[in-house]
Amino acid sequence: MSSTAITPAPVPLGRRLKRFMADRPLIPLVILLVILVVILQILRPGIVNERWIANTIKFAIPLAILAGCQTMTMLTGGIDLSVGTVATMSAFIMATQVVNQDPAVAFLLAMMPAVLIGLVNGIGVGVFRVHPLIMTLGTSLIGTGCLQVYQRTVIASGAKIPDFLAWLGTGVTYGFPNALLLFVPLAALIIFTLARTGFGRLLYAVGDNERATRLSGVQYWQVITALYITSSVLAGITGLLYIGLIKAPSLSLAEPLVLPSVAAAVIGGTSIFGGRGGYTGTIIGALILTVLTTLLTILQMPEGARRILFGLIVLFVTAAYLRIVEER
């Protein structure tokens, strides 16, 4: 009596490709980044050089740090729309207080609103169960109003960009931007926290199944409060770095980075529904958006069209993620 082996049906190429992208999300991101750089070089021959790479990294770093704030909050199923306001407040307060105060004192004063807004966000979301989008949008508007009132009190004293922030934001040493001295330790700390610490595992757990996390004895409000304080502190640091790069304090300094920071996190593979993602992909996502911005500038696309494009990117990547989840 002979037995006949059953040959499994071949998996369609499209499904295999989707599985590959889902299991190794960094590879298609790197490929996309390389493609954008090649297109840029074709449109403007000679633009890709050591100086261009350094400038691209300079402008990608503030976006990547703010996108790190979005990554951590999105892991819990939340979002932080106040990061732009926090960064702007810290930068503006630093630039105006350093005129009459010691830089260390000015730094502490600049970071106080960041800690306060983060605490309010954490209590609002973690204790009173306000939706993160509503809570952070509300504190963003309040912070903007407070900054406008503060601006009137210091309008006579003027503003000054501290030399060390200008050095950090725009300086280059041996071809490497000085901002890497700040970004590399921060990025390593975020990656380590998410991958190797109990706090990082709690962020994934809360986003994956909040109810089960609560039943297991986790103090949800403590995790969320610590998360939003961390996010705001990182946003405050970003503001100080960004003003050193831009060298022009304003009441809307970092606001244009809010939507791109969300887009960078989503492009990097972080799910807006929580429980999935990582900071390494977010960094590549920030680089992709920075190169894309350069490409759109060369094509003379206006700012409004860029914002539309960033919104479409968020919608497209989210839809693609849902499609992959449904088919796995």
Give just the sign of the alpha carbon dihedral 226, 228, 234, 236. Answer: negative
Could you tell me the CA-to-CA distances from 94 to 165, 237, 240, 310 in Å, in that order?
10, 11, 7, 30
| Strand segments (E) across 112-253 | 172-173, 176-177
| Angstrom distance (rounded) from CA 254 to CA 61 | 13
Residues in the chain where the model's pLDDT stays below 50: 1
Which tens digits make up the pLDDT trace of 4-44? 556 666 666 666 666 666 667 788 889 989 999 999 999 99
DSSP 17-77: HHHHHHH-THHHHHHHHHHHHHHHHHHSTT--SHHHHHHHHHHHHHHHHHHHHHHHHHHTT
Residue spans per domain, the chain: 47-325
> Which tokens is 250 given?
């304003």
pTM of the predicted structure, to 2 decimals = 0.91
Q: How many CA atoms lie within 13 A of 303 on its CB side?
A: 3
| Angstrom distance (rounded) from CA 153 to CA 144 | 15
Q: Residues 287, 91: contact at Cβ < 8 Å?
A: no
| Angstrom distance (rounded) from CA 210 to CA 77 | 9
47-325: CATH topology is ABC transporter involved in vitamin B12 uptake, BtuC (1.10.3470)
Note the pLDDT of residue 238: 97
Which tens digits make up the pLDDT trace of 97-130? 999 999 999 999 999 999 999 999 999 999 999 9
**Residue 45, C-beta contacts closer than 8 angstroms, at least 6 positions apart:** none
φ/ψ of residue 176, rounded to 5: -110, 130
The 8-class DSSP code of residue 253 comes to S
Note the pLDDT of residue 272: 86
> Which tokens is 6 given?
């059953």
φ/ψ of residue 130, rounded to 5: -75, 140
